[in-house]
């Protein structure tokens, strides 16, 4: 049901601002007047959050991961996590900085070593080459294929070339010439495409320098290993950073709350549910000095929609909110919609085996993984929907696509093997299932029309309730009764049905054009209203998808069983192949069945059901509260 909300103003001293906001976040009963689903944080706060996430990412690589983990922290530890987490982040940053610096140094060292290696046998230090006055030494390489001719011309022209090393492609060394012959030397080098390299300047010979470079490389590698080892040890403290992230983020949210103020007083305006108003006052009274004022809601002011439903119905509220949040002045569709969604989902799955799989898997998932938010709601919907899936599986005699008559089995234990629980067979005899689906659709639509009447009566618009709600209920009910009279011996039902249809049609004719002033306008309005019968016919036919979904699930399951039976005849590997086909096939069918039922069931609710009465257009009552990304719960002190 939709519960009323109050608009209030909370006032306190300037010194109590933080205490007030923190208390409101803790209580999770007060919705800020300027509430935003996504709060934009300043760059410095975002930078710190990214720093924490980087720390979590680094440490989580080395923690022992649990598939089913539940991270709960007590309130005191949550409030005091800052110091330990800050020290931990500083340690992580130190190690990461060292790893990054040493890695960059090693890249440079490796580059230097690769560059220097071909020239290790040169007889001079590279720095000495810079102080020569009358000669010049150029270090580089020449192609091996041209080296013999290069050496000959070098010697003939009075230059020198000291070979250091060679490989399959090049000869490496130092080429020297007197500066007075520089033009001639350069022409020679260009002719043989001499590849000059610039070596770092060192005071010692390269052959003596290499061990030192390798030692530096090894020292850096050891430092990197040491830092990685230290980070690995810190992996067990990952949850400290996860707690700190949620603490820091929620503290940042409190900082972004925009309070209004006078010289001595700060105040907040917002919404609170009427049924939680006293509880909020009682809690705040224990935490700080404050005043509270109830404000008048303007006629044009949009009030947030707050719902209060039992545990079953509340899980299905997410289905409605995906379409549109209810308007605060209309009837809450969730109590009725949840039951219909639950039933139709079960019929679409309609298999004992798949229903049991849903029950076991999603109950275990909820117990062990303990999901939050939308994922938890979805898992709860699937867990609840396993019950009608099992029930309808019994009524259709389907167990993972195989025929299974539960009542016949149970009856056999007591000598009553003539009993049978199978009342519908979508695969062998789809027509009764189609009739059942369409009949269920008519009941679903009539339920929506009843809610339409309730909404119009609450608005005191009786004529709309009669013209747009009661009239179509009479027509749909009359059509069903008339058909029953045609197919059963009770012929009087046909007359009753036609009378109901006639009364409904007259209501539409006389009332549908009531807003038009002229008689002709009223007449055409009534005739136009009757034309909507085509829309209702289309809506009813849409429920044939219930047959289609139950049929597809059963046929695919049967096909997988058939394929498994066929490969079982293969020698030696037959049983293994059959098990693989059976498991993979049914997992695929199970997943596709869940997806199809979820989507098509939602479509029937949104179009065929909501289309008859639902307006929506509201916005959800969302109290200011903790937003937890990594923590699953904050444990309060026991009183």
pLDDT at position 67 is 64
Asked if pLDDT for residue 468 goes beyond 90, the answer is no
Cβ contact 543:437 at 8 Å? yes
Helix (H, G, I), strand (E, B) or coil at 297: coil
| Residue 9 main-chain phi, psi, to 5 deg | -125, 130
The residue that leads in pLDDT, 635 or 393, is: 393
32/257 Cα distance (integer angstroms): 8
Q: Cα torsion for 318, 322, 328, 329, to the nearest 10°?
A: -120
546/596 Cα distance (integer angstroms): 11
pLDDT at position 223 is 94
Mean pLDDT, the chain, integer: 89
Angle at 527 between CA 524 and CA 531, to 5 degrees: 130
For residue range 609-629, list pLDDT tens digits in order: 999 999 989 999 999 999 998
Q: Residue written as tokens 């005071």?
A: 203
Helix (H, G, I), strand (E, B) or coil at 162: strand
264/425 Cα distance (integer angstroms): 75
Architecture of domain 123-204: 2-Layer Sandwich (3.30)
Asked if pLDDT for residue 284 goes beyond 50, the answer is yes
The residue that leads in pLDDT, 209 or 499, is: 499
**CA dist 134 to 1, 130, 138, 151, 184, Å?**
100, 11, 14, 22, 15
pLDDT at position 311 is 93
For residue range 264-279, list pLDDT tens digits in order: 899 999 999 999 999 9
572/582 Cα distance (integer angstroms): 17
458 Cβ contact list (under 8 Å, min separation 6) = 329, 330, 331
565/575 Cα distance (integer angstroms): 9
Helical residues (DSSP H) of 272-421, grouped into ranges? 274-285, 311-315, 317-323, 334-349, 352-364, 373-396, 406-413
Distance of alpha carbon 215 from the chain centroid: 50
Average pLDDT estimate for 406-420: 81
Tokens linked to 495:
């007359």
For residue range 478-500, list pLDDT tens digits in order: 999 998 888 888 888 889 989 99
Q: Which range, of 15-24, 116-125, 340-349, averages the lowest pLDDT? A: 116-125
Residue 249, burial from CB neighbour count under 10 angstroms (0-12, 13-18, 19+): buried
- CB atoms inside a 10 Å sphere around CB 278: 10
| Residue 185 main-chain phi, psi, to 5 deg | -65, -45
Partners of 141 in beta bridges: 172, 195
Q: Residue written as tokens 């041209």?
A: 146
For residue range 220-252, list pLDDT tens digits in order: 999 999 999 999 988 889 999 999 999 999 999
pLDDT at position 484 is 87
| Residue 270 main-chain phi, psi, to 5 deg | 180, -160
The residue that leads in pLDDT, 572 or 468, is: 468
- Residue 12's Cβ-side half-sphere holds a number of Cα atoms within 13 Å equal to 21
Helix (H, G, I), strand (E, B) or coil at 168: coil
pLDDT at position 637 is 67
Average pLDDT estimate for 516-520: 61
271/259 Cα distance (integer angstroms): 15
Categorize the per-residue pLDDT at 639 as very low, low, confident or very high, splitting at 50, 70 and 90: very low
- Strands 170-178, 160-166: pairing kind: antiparallel
Residues listed for the chain: 639
- Reported pTM: 0.80
268/284 Cα distance (integer angstroms): 14
What are the domain boundaries of the chain? 2-76+240-295, 123-204, 311-458+543-612
């Amino acid at each position: 049901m939709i519960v009323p909300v109050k608009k209030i103003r909370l006032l306190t001293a300037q010194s109590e601002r933080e205490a007030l906001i923190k208390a409101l976040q803790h209580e999770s009963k007060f919705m800020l007047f300027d509430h935003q689903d996504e709060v934009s944080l300043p760059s410095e706060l975002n930078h710190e959050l990214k720093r924490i996430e980087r720390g979590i990412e680094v440490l989580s690589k080395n923690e022992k991961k649990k598939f089913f983990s539940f991270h709960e922290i007590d309130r005191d530890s949550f409030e005091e996590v800052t110091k330990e987490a800050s020290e931990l982040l500083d340690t992580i940053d130190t190690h990461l900085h060292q790893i990054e610096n040493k890695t960059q140094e090693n890249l440079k060292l490796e580059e230097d070593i690769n560059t220097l290696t071909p020239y290790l046998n040169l007889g001079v230090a590279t720095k000495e080459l810079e102080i020569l006055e009358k000669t010049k030494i150029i270090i580089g390489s020449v192609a091996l294929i041209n080296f013999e001719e290069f050496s000959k011309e070098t010697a003939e022209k009075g230059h020198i070339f000291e070979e250091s090393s060679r490989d399959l492609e090049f000869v490496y060394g130092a080429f020297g010439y007197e500066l007075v012959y520089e033009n001639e030397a350069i022409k020679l080098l260009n002719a043989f495409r001499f590849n000059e390299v610039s070596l770092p300047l060192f005071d010692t010979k390269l052959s003596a320098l290499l061990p030192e470079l390798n030692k530096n490389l090894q020292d850096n590698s050891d430092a990197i290993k040491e830092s990685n080892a230290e980070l690995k040890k810190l992996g067990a403290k990952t949850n400290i950073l996860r707690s700190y992230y949620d603490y820091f983020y929620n503290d940042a949210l409190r900082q972004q709350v925009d309070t209004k103020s006078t010289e001595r007083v700060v105040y907040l305006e917002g919404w609170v549910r009427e049924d939680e108003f006293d509880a909020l006052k009682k809690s705040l009274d224990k935490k700080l000095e404050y005043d509270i004022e109830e404000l008048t809601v303007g006629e044009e002011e949009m009030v947030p929609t707050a719902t209060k439903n039992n545990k079953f119905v509340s899980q299905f509220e997410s289905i409605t909110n995906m379409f549109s949040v209810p308007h605060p002045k209309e009837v809450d569709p969730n109590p009725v919609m949840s039951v219909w969604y639950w039933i139709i989902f079960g019929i679409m799955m309609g298999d004992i085996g798949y229903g049991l799989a849903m029950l076991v898997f999603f109950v275990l998932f909820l117990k062990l993984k303990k999901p939050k938010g939308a994922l938890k709601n979805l898992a709860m919907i699937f867990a609840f929907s396993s019950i009608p899936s099992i029930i309808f599986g019994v009524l259709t005699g389907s167990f993972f696509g195989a025929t299974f008559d539960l009542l016949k089995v149970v009856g056999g234990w007591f000598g009553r093997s003539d009993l049978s629980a199978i009342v519908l067979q979508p695969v062998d005899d789809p027509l009764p299932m189609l009739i059942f689906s369409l009949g269920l659709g008519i009941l679903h639509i009539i339920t929506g029309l009843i809610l339409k009447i309730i909404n119009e009566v609450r608005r005191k618009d009786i004529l709309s309730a009669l013209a747009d709600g009661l009239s179509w209920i009479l027509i749909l009910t009359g059509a069903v009764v008339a058909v029953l009279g045609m197919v059963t011996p009770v012929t009087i039902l046909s007359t009753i049905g036609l009378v109901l249809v006639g009364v409904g049609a007259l209501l539409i004719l006389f009332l549908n054009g009531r807003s038009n002033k002229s008689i002709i306008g009223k007449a055409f309005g009534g005739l136009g209203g009757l034309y909507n019968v085509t829309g209702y016919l289309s809506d009813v036919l849409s429920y044939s998808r219930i047959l289609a979904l139950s049929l597809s699930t059963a046929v695919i399951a049967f096909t997988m069983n058939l394929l498994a039976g066929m490969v079982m005849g293969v020698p030696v590997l037959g049983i293994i192949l059959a098990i693989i086909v059976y498991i993979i096939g049914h997992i695929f069918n199970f997943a596709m069945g869940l997806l199809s039922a979820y989507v098509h069931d939602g479509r029937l609710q949104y179009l065929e059901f909501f289309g008859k009465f639902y307006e929506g257009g509201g916005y959800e009552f969302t109290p200011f509260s903790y937003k937890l990304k990594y923590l699953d719960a904050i444990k309060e002190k026991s009183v």
